């Protein structure tokens, strides 16, 4: 009998060429599929909730796969974590309904972007070090503009594969803790590099490069060339996928 297995995965994306399997490149999907093949003795195709880019991390990526194996979940879980490299960890293994699809069943995804306000040698691989003086109140005020359903073409490096570039932002906000500044955003979908482009442009607004009106015009322009800089991948984390 075919079983549908759901995984919750965390990984340090620093040394990966993203999530999606690619020939001759080290990817998260490729590593996990390889280890599953060894454990289950069959070819496995892993479906991820979404693709994370080169250098992007995950606190809880979700993926699923179909298998004919009768191996119990505990053995599967232990086997995976014993074979996987240190920068991937499977948090949970669960058998789910046959129609569950980690990508198409997702209702929303949550991303977090981490900034260090100044130099931090311990977080340099996992955050964007921003030495500039920022107007956080202006950043927060500007962030409110992106809420709701809007066209985010201006914050997409390449065109989305879907018919349009509209996304619904459920929430987006900033939290400061000492020298750490976190941006968290939840939406029904995200375009390629959208979060990083939004963060970079919002930081530019906080530096005084864009006014509130400028940001509104950037959003309306539907032209990525109008946006500010794109924040580096190392500060971005996939936090949760909601179903």
What residues are annotated to the active site? 53
Spell out the SS3 assignment of 9-67.
Answer: EEECHHHCCCCCCCCCCCCHHHHHHHHHHHHHCCCCCCEECCCCCCCCEEEEEEEEEEE
> Nearest to residue 45, comparing CAs of 2, 105, 88, 91?
2
> Nearest to residue 29, comparing CAs of 113, 104, 93, 88?
88
Which residues, other chains included, contact 20 with Cβ-Cβ below 8 Å and sequence gap of 6+?
A: 27, 29, 48, 51
Cα gap 81→77, rounded to integer Å: 6
Which residues, other chains included, contact 80 with Cβ-Cβ below 8 Å and sequence gap of 6+?
A: 7, 32, 35, 36, 39, 90, 93
């Amino acid at each position: 009998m075919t079983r549908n297995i759901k995984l919750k995965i965390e990984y340090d994306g620093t040394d990966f060429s993203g999530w999606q399997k690619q020939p001759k490149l080290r990817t998260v999907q490729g590593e996990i599929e390889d280890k599953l093949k060894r454990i289950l003795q069959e070819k496995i195709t892993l479906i991820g909730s979404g693709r994370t880019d080169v250098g992007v991390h995950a606190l809880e990526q979700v993926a699923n796969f179909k298998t004919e194996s009768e191996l119990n979940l505990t053995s599967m879980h232990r086997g995976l974590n014993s074979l996987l490299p240190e920068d991937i960890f499977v948090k949970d293994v669960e058998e789910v309904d046959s129609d569950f699809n980690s990508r198409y069943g997702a209702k929303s995804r949550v991303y977090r972007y981490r900034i260090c306000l100044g130099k931090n040698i311990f977080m340099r691989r996992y955050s964007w070090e921003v030495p500039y003086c920022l107007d956080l109140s202006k950043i927060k005020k500007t962030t409110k503009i992106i809420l709701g359903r809007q066209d985010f073409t201006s914050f997409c490096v390449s065109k989305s594969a879907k018919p349009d570039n509209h996304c619904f932002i459920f929430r987006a906000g900033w939290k400061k803790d000492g020298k750490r500044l976190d941006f968290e955003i939840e939406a029904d979908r995200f375009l390629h590099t959208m979060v990083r482009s939004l963060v970079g442009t919002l930081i530019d607004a906080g530096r005084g490069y864009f006014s509130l009106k400028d940001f509104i015009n950037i959003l309306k322009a539907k032209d990525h060339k109008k946006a500010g800089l794109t924040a580096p991948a190392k500060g971005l984390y996939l936090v949760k996928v909601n179903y």
